[in-house]
Amino acid sequence: MARSRREAGGVVAAYQTIAEVAEAEIVEKKSRFIGRIAPVADEEEALAFIAEVKAAHRMARHNVYAYVLRGGRIRYTDDGEPAKTAGMPTLEAIQHAGLEDVAVVVTRYFGGILLGTGGLVRAYGQATKAAIDAARIVVVSRCVDIIVEVPYSLYEPACRLAGDAGARVHDTDFAENVLITFRMLDGTQAPFLEKLTELTRGQSEIIATDPFDAAF
């Protein structure tokens, strides 16, 4: 029979973030703008990332940053540039891309030519967009894993059931039997659990994990 470790609760909406740190550079009138973006889970991680980039670019004229966290938590700074010419366009580029739980630092090495307020806005926005374009964007959803051990004869039928239910094979362990971990969106697992129980005739223990956030 199916056994669930899932706690009560509704389905959480998916959101977009990035998979790993990415970096890109643009040059505007001899000034170098290096955009670096990272996935962050909370403000502590965002500030640690910002501090790391600042330490790596101590000699830069400016290290402008912005971050967006789920729940509407945002923060940005112009780091010595004229007000709203650096941090704001960096933030707006993140928001335009629809990303959350990310932090961006744009490092500027001054090239000796003033850009003016319009030039700065464009350069910081473009550097942020370049970093975003270099990143691998993923959709994070509320998921559950379904874990079941089946004989080899039921491996392919179980996978077909999973595909029909919108689940994906996340992991397999081929031993005396096959231990399969399926991953699927939370809230969609009930019909799959029922069909999987029918397929195994109740002879296999089926575990549904607690919901968690994962790229899916």
**Domain boundaries along the sequence of the chain:** 2-13+140-215, 20-135
Q: What is the pTM of this model?
A: 0.80
Residues in the chain, total: 216
The per-residue pLDDT for 13 is 67
pLDDT of 10? 45
Can you list the positions of beta strands (E) in the chain? 2-4, 15-18, 22-28, 31-39, 62-69, 73-77, 102-109, 137-150, 168-174, 178-185, 206-208, 212-215
Q: What is the per-residue pLDDT for 64?
A: 98
- Domains 2-13+140-215 and 20-135 are alike in CATH topology: no
pLDDT at 111: 93
Q: What are the DSSP calls for 153-172, one per residue?
A: GGHHHHHHHHHHHT-EEEEE
User: What sections of 15-115 are H helices per DSSP?
Assistant: 43-56, 87-96
pLDDT at 115: 96
pLDDT along the chain (216 residues), means of 10: 39 82 97 98 97 97 97 95 97 97 98 95 98 97 97 97 97 97 96 97 95 92
Query: For the domain 20-135, what is the CATH superfamily, name and number?
Result: Impact, N-terminal domain (3.30.230.30)
Specify the CATH architecture of the domain 2-13+140-215: 2-Layer Sandwich (3.30)
pLDDT value for 11: 46
